[in-house]
Amino acid sequence: MSSERSFVERLKSGEVVELTESVQCLGPLHITSGVHATLTSTTTDVVTVEGPVLVDEGGTLLLRGVTMVVQDHMRCSGRVEVIGGAVRGGILVCGRGGFECNKSSVVGHITILDHASATLTDCTVEQTPVKVTPQVGIVFQETAAIVAGNSASLIMTGCSVAPTVGRQTKCGIRGETRATVRLKATYVGCGVESCVHLIGCAGEFTQCLFADQNGSGLTLASPNRTSGVTLEHAKGKLMQCIAFQAYFGFIMVHDSEGTLDDCFACDAVNGVTVDGSAAVLQHCHTLVEHVSVVVLNKGKCTVRAPHSDAKTKVHELQKVVAERYVSLANSARVALVQICSKAPSSTSFTTDLESLQTTFFDGHKDGPCVMLFGRYGLEANTQSLLDVSNVLCIGAKEDGVRVSDGAEATLSFMLIMVRSPLLQHHGVRTEPRMDDDKSRGVLCHGARTIDASHITVSGYTFGFFDANAISDVTHVLTTVEDWNTTHLYSNCTASACVNGFTIDGSIARIEDCVANNASSVGVYLLTKSQARVRGGKFSGTRYGVEARGAILTCEGTSIDVDQLSYVVRGEGGRLRAFNCTAIKGSSIGEGEDIFAVDEGGRIKLSNCTEVPQTVSTRNGIIL
């Protein structure tokens, strides 16, 4: 290159300029409308521009194999294309401008506004502080490495985005005000708030990794409450995406709408949070510290696995199958730690990520949603709606499913297990139950409605616990219409629990359910409760059914327990049994009771087999 002047003039005239050495440009580089400038290099030469680079609408700047260092900023109202090179500095794409980057790197910042677009393929974006001449009047929104707003469009494929080192920025990518963000096979690092934050716009994400590299060892009390993806007044679709080591894996707030297919929240405190928003989770999985899925503030959430093998009933899965899913999640966690320890720009990064995604998601193909560990599995509160089907919940220490505060839930085809020797080496609690252990497979506390069917609970103190229901019913239920408005548990099983079904201050139907290998009571009613038990079998328990100051009706029920089949206690306690079968428990000695009435209760038996050898009463009444 003979001189700086000839270089700039030739470029502005639209010539194809091939660099043979690095060049420094002291003034601005201005590509006007109608000019199509091309700058190439085969030796990765550097062009340093001390002023701004301005590409007007209708102008084009093509950089091939060139590293351009912009010490002020690049404003693109026209079209800029970077191939096999790099841009260092702040990039503003505005008007109806377009920025395209292929197999290149950006070190600085990108802002896309006003119907403009940016398309990046196989690129890295590393955020660093940028400078702009004050007189220019441009303010970069350095809240993220990339910002898209005002109906702008951002498309990234096979890229990586790293916010400012030292956590000085809010997020990796921020979309706002009707922008569109589409990412595929892209890694996005985390700022002080999130990896991706969409506000009032829309996004689509496929096979992406959102990771907080500083998020190892997160707990409920951790002060850094980052998120993988946050939707706020936004719409988002995610497929085969992973959120790793973020406090909130995926979160939807303020009337957002989210659809997650084959996604995984790994090492999160809360896996998926739906706050006053609507979400559909299909074939999604979590490995968490606190709760897998939580729905609150009138949110609506559907969790399902529509492509599950119809021949396999989730609630009948063998524990060895559950062990396989636990192993898949733990192997993925180990692989994610290794992937995130590498520089996102390393040659093996994309390959390693694709391999992990293939192994993990193929391992769950045609299987249920898998929710692992934490304090709670799935939770709905504050008048929210939760619809769950085909879910395997393992190792939730306190409640497998928790429905409270006026929420409504429909649950079907679930296996909820907390203790198993197979899970011991994965850190899941396996010690014997203690007297103060109040864990529950399904807890319904102050809920408006619950419809649970084909649910198997294993290893909890209380299999199903229904308390303080919100109901207008104050009278004794007698009609079909009355009972049809109550909480329903059908074809459910409580295995290896202390109490199978506990009703405390609620009204419930328990139909064709089973409690086996429990150490206390099959169905247990407390004061002011009402329940109707139809069909089902209760075996291996101390007592079959017990009403303590409550009203219980049994019809067509089979009971085979160790001590007492029917127990009624307390003032106002009533039990009616129709067409029931009570079989001597294996430990009943000569003269022991099969039916019992105690402490002022009332019992009526009609067409029930095995007339009691002895009926024990203490101020009780046999009707």
Percent of the chain beyond pLDDT 90? Answer: 51
Domain boundary among 304, 333, 358: 304
User: How far apart (Å, rounded) are the C-alpha atoms in residues 76 and 56?
Assistant: 7
Average pLDDT (503-526) is: 89
475, pLDDT greater than 60: no
- pTM (two decimals): 0.90
User: Shortest CA distance to 494 belongs to which of 443, 552, 434?
Assistant: 443
Per DSSP, 136 falls in state G
pLDDT tier at 435, thresholds 50, 70, 90: very low
120, pLDDT greater than 50: yes
Residue 277, domain member (yes or no):
yes
- 531: part of which helix (H) or strand (E)? strand 530-534
Q: What is the pLDDT of residue 483?
A: 58
Highest mean pLDDT among 166-180, 306-320, 343-357: 166-180
Identify which has the larger pLDDT, 39 or 138: 39
Average pLDDT (320-337) is: 85
Residue 132, domain member (yes or no):
yes
Q: What is the pLDDT of residue 433?
A: 44
Q: Are 500 and 465 in contact (CB under 8 A)?
A: no
Looking at the structure, tell me whether residues 404 and 525 fall in a common domain: yes
Identify which has the larger pLDDT, 611 or 379: 379
Average pLDDT (423-443) is: 59
What are the strands, taking DSSP E only, across 367-506? 369-372, 376-380, 385-394, 399-404, 408-417, 440-445, 449-458, 462-467, 487-490, 493-495, 499-504
- Concatenated DSSP letters for 361-402? HHHTTTS-EEEE-SSEEEEE-TT-EEEEEEEEEE--SSEEEE
List pLDDT tens digits, range 103-113.
Answer: 999 999 999 99
Looking at the structure, tell me whether residues 412 and 300 fall in a common domain: no
Looking at the structure, tell me whether residues 121 and 215 fall in a common domain: yes
264, pLDDT greater than 90: yes
Domain boundary among 304, 323, 350: 304
Q: What is the pLDDT of residue 430?
A: 39
Looking at the structure, tell me whether residues 456 and 544 fall in a common domain: yes
* Structural domains counted in the chain: 2
Residue 316, domain member (yes or no):
no
Looking at the structure, tell me whether residues 293 and 376 fall in a common domain: no
Q: What is the pLDDT of residue 586?
A: 34
The domain containing residue 455 runs over which residues?
368-622
The pLDDT mean for the chain works out to 84
CATH number at residue 31: 2.160.20.20
- 306: part of which helix (H) or strand (E)? none
User: How far apart (Å, rounded) are the C-alpha atoms in residues 557 and 554?
Assistant: 6
Q: What is the pLDDT of residue 344?
A: 64
Highest mean pLDDT among 99-108, 306-315, 418-427: 99-108
Identify which has the larger pLDDT, 310 or 604: 604
Looking at the structure, tell me whether residues 145 and 277 fall in a common domain: yes
User: How far apart (Å, rounded) are the C-alpha atoms in residues 464 and 487?
Assistant: 12
Residue 523, domain member (yes or no):
yes
Q: What is the pLDDT of residue 431?
A: 42
Residue 354: φ, ψ to 5°: -60, -40
List pLDDT tens digits, range 45-92.
Answer: 899 998 889 999 999 999 999 999 998 889 999 999 999 999 999 999
Q: What is the pLDDT of residue 345?
A: 59
Percent of the chain beyond pLDDT 70? Answer: 81
Looking at the structure, tell me whether residues 82 and 206 fall in a common domain: yes
How many CB atoms are closer than 10 A to CB 3?
Answer: 9
Average pLDDT (223-227) is: 88
Average pLDDT (407-433) is: 68
Alpha carbon of residue 372 to chain centroid: 11
Residue 289, domain member (yes or no):
yes
429, pLDDT greater than 50: no
Looking at the structure, tell me whether residues 292 and 373 fall in a common domain: no
Average pLDDT (439-459) is: 93
Which tokens is 168 given? 């000085």
Q: What is the pLDDT of residue 133?
A: 63
Residue 378, domain member (yes or no):
yes
Domain boundary among 304, 322, 347: 304
Phi-psi region of 178 (alpha: psi -120 to 50; beta: other; left: phi over 0): left
Average pLDDT (327-334) is: 89
Average pLDDT (154-162) is: 94
User: How far apart (Å, rounded) are the C-alpha atoms in residues 31 and 56?
Assistant: 6
Identify which has the larger pLDDT, 51 or 3: 51
Looking at the structure, tell me whether residues 442 and 565 fall in a common domain: yes
Average pLDDT (594-614) is: 57
User: How far apart (Å, rounded) are the C-alpha atoms in residues 604 and 552?
Assistant: 11
Looking at the structure, tell me whether residues 294 and 184 fall in a common domain: yes
132, pLDDT greater than 70: no
Q: What is the pLDDT of residue 590?
A: 37
Q: What is the pLDDT of residue 322?
A: 78
User: How far apart (Å, rounded) are the C-alpha atoms in residues 56 and 39?
Assistant: 17
Residue 175, domain member (yes or no):
yes
Looking at the structure, tell me whether residues 293 and 373 fall in a common domain: no
Residue 418, domain member (yes or no):
yes
Looking at the structure, tell me whether residues 294 and 372 fall in a common domain: no
